[in-house]
Amino acid sequence: MQLIHNEMPILGMGTFRLEGDVAYNSVKMALELGYRHIDTAQIYGNETQVGKAIADSGIERSELFITTKVWNAHLNEHSFLDSVRESLDKLQTDYVDLLLIHWPSPENNELMDEYLNELINAKNQKLAKHIGVSNFTINLLEQALKILPASEIFTNQVEVHPYLTNEKLRSYCDSKNIHVTGYMPFAVGKVLKDNLIIEIANSKGVTPAEVVIAWSIANGLSTIPSSTKRANLLTNLAGESLMLSPDEVIAINQLNSNDRQASPEFSPEWDI
């Protein structure tokens, strides 16, 4: 499996919208199939189930890469670190490999200095090996880089898929050597029904999901699709070894229509 920064598997399993036994069973199955990168968040409400699945897997902690994200209500000096410790208790681990600011949208309008300094404190206290951000636009990254160096931002996790290629933001991240992790790679299943992607998949004897994963990786992204089905988890894994031609990658890039799936009311002003 390819690694980012020699540590993070390029393909991970996302757990957004997975709850209760479904979350537990899905993560446990993913680990059995060979996934070693698991992505969760405080707001997903499944850190306990993710932690139990990891514990029950018997896999050495050093073999895993676990990401969680701090929610908007905790982006302040009073509850940030306590919320991280609570996450670690639920995940049954002493540290996460990557701790992210989930949204640049503190509930009480705290300044970025405050919550990014708390993020640094979490790393300094060894609650997280690496730190980063999620859903940060170019403008927000420019603000962040006045507070901490780009070398501290392990990744910016943002929505990226063939219908939302986010190229302007990705180009900016590349210029600052900030790795991009793309979430919702299938656009909630929409791109799996696209005629071009189906055509490419049929020509190679693979699934549309494999084509989308291969496209993400060809664009230099990490990606974290979620699934509850064994067959889908396997095809997602298989996508890492699929090679697309440069022309195929370009053709898929051109499907971009800025069709964003995740844009809650507290979202920043997105780059277009």
Neighbour tally for 70: CB within 10 Å: 28
Catalytic-role residue among 44, 95, 115, 172: 44
The closest alpha carbon to 165, from 239, 104, 226, 221, belongs to 221
CB atoms within 10 A of CB 255: 18
Tokens representing 75 are: 């982006």
Alpha-carbon torsion angle 244, 256, 225, 79, nearest 10? 140
Q: What is the b/e burial string over 55-68, where b = at least 16 CB atoms within 10 angstroms of the residue's CB?
A: eebeeeeeebbbbb
Determine whether 172 is an active site residue.
no
Q: How many residues does this entry show for the chain?
A: 272
Cβ atoms of 222 and 132 within 8 Å: the answer is no
**CA distances from residue 147 to 110, 170, 269 in whole angstroms, order as listed:** 14, 21, 20
Task: State the Cα–Cα distance between residues 95 and 203, nearest whole angstrom.
Answer: 44
Handedness of CA 110, 139, 220, 251 (dihedral sign): positive
The CB density around residue 125, as the number of other CB atoms within 10 Å, is: 12
Cα 40-44-45 angle, rounded to 5 deg: 110
Separation between Cα atoms, residue 85 and residue 122, nearest integer Å: 9
Q: List residues with catalytic annotation.
A: 44
